[in-house]
Structure 1
Amino acid sequence: MKPLFSIRLVFIALALGLLLAISLSLSLGPVAMSLDTPWRVLLSRLGLPLLVEPQAQLIIEQIRLPRTLLGLAAGGVLALCGVAMQGLFRNPLADPGLIGVSSGAALGAALMIVLGAGLGGLAPEWSPYLLSASAFAGGLLVTSVVYRLGRKQGRVDVATMLLAGVALAALAGALIGLLQYLADDATLRTLTFWNLGSLNGASYSRLWPLLAIALLVLVSLPRSASALNALLLGESEARHLGVDVERLKRRLILLTALGVGAAVAACGMIGFVGLVVPHLMRLLLGPDHRTLIPASMLAGASLLLLADVLARLLVAPAEMPIGVLTALIGAPFFLYLLVRGRSHA
């Protein structure tokens, strides 16, 4: 597939778009600021003699900066995991949720929310950490079960793993529905908003685990770019080219489980980023993973930040769940891509 645009031009546009998204995320909200205010605050922290208002400095450093960094890390890692899954399944319609990690993380969080309410509430200082840890553990557990079910005679059968992922995702959804049925009104509201996803309540303590895992995925996945390119030809062809296909599958599954599990644990359920962003970047740049991986990371981070800005502004002073916005943006756009692909087939 030939790229529609110059690769350099696309990366320049993505970099500028990311800078704009960061500026808007730091500037807009209940207290509106000029676009240069956040940068003056950040530069003053680096020692430059710039005058900044104490209120603006407090809002940016304690509220908006961790929220922006959380959106950058979550959007980037979700898009990277989408690239990994689409490469693994050799299908541009694949999604990280296919291996059950998102559903498992949601089930883990739901168990902790309902269990905490049933025990009379967890200690406030430990509740966010226990919720994130439960979501992360649930995602890893379901992914490990899917992986084991997909192994056959020492190899990972992608088709079997896909079917196992769909089945376990359905089972997790049923268990979450049961927990919602058993929950009281307050717990049900918490569970519902968490499942819809949000960057609200971001803090540096919630950021660091996700940021560390996002950096791990960002460093590790590009090393598999050439192997993913070979895998596009088929597993047998990739083996003939010297690719250890089974090791590649294990690496991609592990990175996806870590990345999506950490993102869901920090932000809740946010859909369509890992599906639409890699698909769009593939249309713009072609299937070469050496450019597709960094481009998807930049686009995913920008998309999630812009969706978060809209979530803050559309129903102000309230806040719309970001998962609703990404679905409202992503679903019609993805349907357009499907129709466009059929018309060009």
Structure 2
Amino acid sequence: MKRLFVIGMILTSSAAFAQNDLLKELDQVQDSVVNYSAATFKGTRIINGHSVETVGKNNLDFIISHRFGAVNSGAQNFFGLDESQIRLALEYGLTDRLMIGVGRSSYQKTLDFFAKYRLLKQSTGARNMPVSVTLFASDAHNSTTSSTELPFYTIMQRQTYTFQALIARKFNDKLSLQLSPTVIHRNLAENQIDANTIYSLGMGGRYKLTKRTSFNVEYWYTPKTFAGTTQRDPRFTNTLSLGFDIETGGHVFQLHLTNSRGMIEKQFIGQTTGKWNNGDIFYGFNISRTFSFDKNRKRKSNAY
């Protein structure tokens, strides 16, 4: 009887030790897991400005953007819908962190090239990173005809460069916020009042309404003076935009109202003249479609 008791105690102790070792190993595995935040924003744009999101590796996004005329243009102009500016863009993911893009805008006949790099990803677990950070750089080329009001003497004078650090945090399944410190350098300013280099701060957010819809807001603050130097013509204003995103699988529809007709940084940050209180409100939309060129890999998901 004593032998059975001793054997039972030994087996029980061994099982307890084994269980403790197993729990310890599971804790170590959990401690080594990194959980990355997904879908901080639905697409690569909040409304006008870029978000921290990048296109997945070997994926191609085709984006069509429209801006109609001002709502205050009246019934004769169908409240702006008779007018239209368009931008077509292609964005390709070289890796899951690095993407490149090219776009052509009918507004000022501008051709733009850009690159985005996902420097940091918001995460918890073994690596706790409170925010996502993406770096952005672009070159915009104004191809309008040179005039007495805006003469271009060289190709370099037509270039405008933009540099941004996009910093975002997804607070929960519904709310995401982003700050976008921005520097824009124009080789040739619009007029003598404008500085060649201007500084701006973008603020944007997304609030998820349903599984496939969200409300977005975006504001770009550009002080008239910076470090004692006038940055831009007083007639230019800050841009405020309100948007509504609808995700339908392979497509993302972004509907919005904004006081800017421009669809790239040099335009909606440095050249906005519309004012909401005057009814200078432009209805617009972005439509994006993703194509995958890697059959052995699932398309990167920004699912809600």
Q: TM-score range by the shorter chain?
A: under 0.3
Give the TM-score, by structure 1 length. 0.22
**Which structure has more strand as a fraction of its residues?**
2
